[in-house]
């Protein structure tokens, strides 16, 4: 039995011609299931795939599998993502960007849009994925790590902290916390949390969030604003507010496929019943001419972050071309050399929780390689390896140890499933230490 919709929600939807006649009915049907694949990793084929037309490498599935029990999910080969929100890929492909854009995904956890942007950039430019809520930022960090790109930084900051980094970004994505009317389809509890007062509260918070980051957008840069809600207060009215109060210029993008233009032709909606989505709104604004301030590094900037001059001890661990390695205490970090200045600016002004790629810990007996390094397709090299069959792969991801069926040299060995790295073990002859990070381990029963 479906939990009823809040009466105020029903009456606004029924009076709003823009939303069509069958939204309420569609919100009581099962949500479509969709995934986006990571084209730089082993590409799994899942059951019943039908391409999502508006996003590269994305597919609808005919039912929802238990993703946790697919080892390739933990290897970052695909990401379950709501199909409507994948319209971001289409938007990125439509706007005119510099060759090497610097992109901020401000409200990024758990990382659906950030991994999409990382795939779009495909190693070009730089992505800063930020999340204000600490626990959610950890999930974001895990998903970014598994997606495998070095040109990424994860930060854990409030939007207001970004006033310290003026004119740094070519694109800012604000996937704003919202009243979540699109969630009514998947999460019936969301229906109980909705109220007109909460809509107003959300609309006010969204304005504050955008105003806080506006100065960190470069002249000519784009602000991409999105929500998963249908009401005009959090969508079209906020876009109008940004035009009037921030001097933002609205950028019209024609609605593709089954998407529809917003009220007064503002933004684009995916509306259940018309589009295969739970619900999504997206609009693009551009920053026109304004005096730009440049961010300068403070005198004590990046104290403690030491650029490594001699990296010969790392040669057998990672590809060194176009990479700059740093030591932060005993931790070795690798970042694309061309972005060193931006990394330093961000380090100086914001709270970084993941820098490029963590290579490992420089211990007395040599490097202890990090999981992050193994996930990075551009930096990792050939290490000793063992291929696991599915049940062993799941036990490995669960944090278990077991008798290996293949032999491998003693020391650090990568374990793979269908030739895709899952993580490290330390092989010590007749047994091994499972080095799969504790915080990533599967908690459900695997047999
Ligand atoms: C719609 S969700 C983001 C989903 C994410 N972009 C994705 O695609 O996976 C909105 C995010 O905003 C964060 N958030 C909540 N309050 C916020 C605030 N006041 N300022 C910035 N972000 C906030 C939430 O923690 C949440 O992670």
Answer yes or no: is 115 within a domain: yes
Answer yes or no: is 333 within a domain: yes
Is there an atom of ligand 1 within 6 Å of 125 CB?
A: no
336 & 433 share domain: no
114 & 232 share domain: yes
Is a pLDDT exceeding 60 seen at residue 1?
Answer: no
**CA 228 to centroid of ligand 1, rounded, Å:** 11
Is there an atom of ligand 1 within 6 Å of 177 CB?
A: yes
215 & 363 share domain: no
8 Å CB contact between 93 and 119: no
**Mean pLDDT value of segment 426-433:** 91
* Paired residues of 423 in beta bridges: 415
Binding residues: 107-113, 131, 158, 175
CB burial string 101-128: b at 16+ within 10 A, e below: bbbbbbbbbbbbbbbbbbbbbeeebbbb
Provide the residue range defining the domain that includes 403: 385-440
Is there an atom of ligand 1 within 6 Å of 113 CB?
A: yes
Considering its fold, how many domains does the chain have in total? 3
57: DSSP letter: T
Compute the distance between CA of residue 151 and CA of residue 117 in angstroms, rounded to an integer: 11
Indicate the top mutation candidate among 81, 103, 109 to test ligand 1's pocket, ranked by most ligand atoms within 8 A of CB. Answer: 109
Is there an atom of ligand 1 within 6 Å of 137 CB?
A: no
Token pair, residue 105, equals 């995904």
121: helix, strand or coil: helix
**Mean pLDDT value of segment 432-442:** 98
Helical residues (DSSP H) of 32-179, grouped into ranges: 71-74, 87-94, 112-121, 134-147
Tell me the pTM. Answer: 0.97
Answer yes or no: is 35 within a domain: no
Answer yes or no: is 54 within a domain: no
Q: Identify the CA nearest to 279 among candidates 90, 87, 84, 91.
A: 84
Compute the distance between CA of residue 194 and CA of residue 180 in angstroms, rounded to an integer: 8
Answer yes or no: is 335 within a domain: yes
> What's the ipTM?
0.99
117: DSSP letter: H
Compute the distance between CA of residue 139 and CA of residue 110 in angstroms, rounded to an integer: 6
294: helix, strand or coil: coil
Q: Tens digits of per-residue pLDDT, 272-298?
A: 999 999 999 999 999 997 656 677 788
**Mean pLDDT value of segment 367-376:** 98
**CA 174 to centroid of ligand 1, rounded, Å:** 8
Compute the distance between CA of residue 306 and CA of residue 328 in angstroms, rounded to an integer: 7
CATH of the domain at 429: 2.30.130.60
Token pair, residue 190, equals 């969301």
**Closest atom of ligand 1 to CA, residue 177:** 10
Is a pLDDT exceeding 80 seen at residue 171?
Answer: yes
Which residue owns the Cα nearest ligand 1 atom 22?
A: 107
Catalytic residues: 228
199 & 112 share domain: yes
Q: Tens digits of per-residue pLDDT, 228-276?
A: 999 999 999 999 999 999 999 999 999 999 999 999 999 999 999 999 9
Is a pLDDT exceeding 90 seen at residue 415?
Answer: yes
Compute the distance between CA of residue 247 and CA of residue 236 in angstroms, rounded to an integer: 16
Compute the distance between CA of residue 268 and CA of residue 260 in angstroms, rounded to an integer: 6
pLDDT at 102: 98
**Mean pLDDT value of segment 45-73:** 95
CATH of the domain at 181: 3.40.50.150
- Number of H-type helices and E-type strands within the chain: 12, 23
**CA 131 to centroid of ligand 1, rounded, Å:** 7
DSSP assignment of 73-99 equals: HHTTSEEE--TGGGHHHHHHHHS---S
Phi and psi based region of residue 352 (left: phi greater than 0; alpha: psi -120 to 50; beta: remaining): beta
- Sheet containing 385-387: order of strands: 385-387, 411-417, 420-427, 432-434
pLDDT at 406: 86
Which residue owns the Cα nearest ligand 1 atom 17?
A: 177
Answer yes or no: is 206 within a domain: yes
Which residue owns the Cα nearest ligand 1 atom 5?
A: 108
């Amino acid at each position: 039995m479906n939990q009823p919709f809040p009466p105020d929600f029903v009456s606004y939807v029924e009076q709003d011609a823009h939303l069509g006649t069958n939204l309420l009915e569609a919100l009581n049907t099962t949500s479509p299931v969709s995934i986006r694949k990571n084209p730089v990793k082993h590409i799994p084929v899942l059951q019943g795939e039908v391409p999502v037309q508006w996003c590269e490498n994305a597919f609808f599935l005919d039912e929802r599998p238990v993703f946790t029990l697919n080892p390739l999910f933990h290897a970052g080969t695909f990401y379950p993502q709501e199909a409507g929100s994948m319209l971001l890929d289409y938007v990125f492909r439509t706007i005119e960007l510099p060759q090497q854009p610097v992109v901020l995904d401000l409200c990024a956890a758990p990382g659906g849009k950030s991994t999409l942007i990382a795939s779009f950039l495909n190693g070009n430019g730089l992505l800063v994925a930020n999340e204000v809520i600490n626990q959610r930022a950890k999930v974001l960090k895990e998903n970014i790590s598994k997606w495998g790109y070095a040109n990424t930084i994860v930060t854990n900051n409030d939007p207001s902290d970004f006033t310290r980094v003026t004119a740094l970004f070519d694109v800012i994505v604000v996937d704003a916390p919202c009243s979540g009317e699109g969630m009514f389809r998947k999460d019936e509890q969301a229906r109980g949390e909705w109220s007109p007062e909460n809509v107003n509260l959300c609309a006010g918070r969204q304005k504050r969030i955008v105003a806080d980051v506006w100065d960190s957008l470069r002249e000519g840069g784009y602000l991409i604003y999105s929500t998963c809600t249908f009401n005009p207060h959090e969508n079209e009215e906020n876009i109008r507010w940004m035009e009037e109060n921030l001097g933002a210029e609205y950028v019209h993008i024609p609605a593709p496929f089954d998407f529809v233009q917003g009220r007064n032709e503002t933004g684009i909606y995916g509306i259940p019943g018309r589009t295969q989505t739970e619900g999504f709104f997206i609009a693009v604004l551009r920053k026109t001419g304004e005096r730009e301030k440049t961010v300068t590094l403070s005198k004590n900037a990046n104290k403690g972050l030491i650029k490594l001059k001699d990296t010969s001890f790392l040669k057998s661990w990672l590809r060194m071309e176009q990479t700059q390695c740093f030591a932060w205490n005993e931790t070795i970090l690798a970042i694309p050399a061309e972005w060193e200045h931006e990394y330093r600016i961000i380090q100086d002004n914001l709270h970084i929780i993941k820098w490029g790629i963590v290579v490992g810990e420089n211990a007395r007996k040599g490097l202890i390689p990090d999981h992050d390094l193994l996930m990075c397709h551009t930096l990792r090299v050939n290490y000793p390896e063992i291929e696991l069959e599915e049940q062993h792969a799941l036990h490995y991801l669960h944090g278990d140890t077991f008798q290996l069926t293949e032999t491998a040299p003693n020391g650090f060995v990568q374990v793979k499933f269908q030739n895709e790295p899952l993580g490290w073990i330390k092989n010590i002859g007749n047994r091994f230490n499972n080095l799969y990070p504790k915080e990533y381990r599967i908690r459900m029963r695997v047999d």
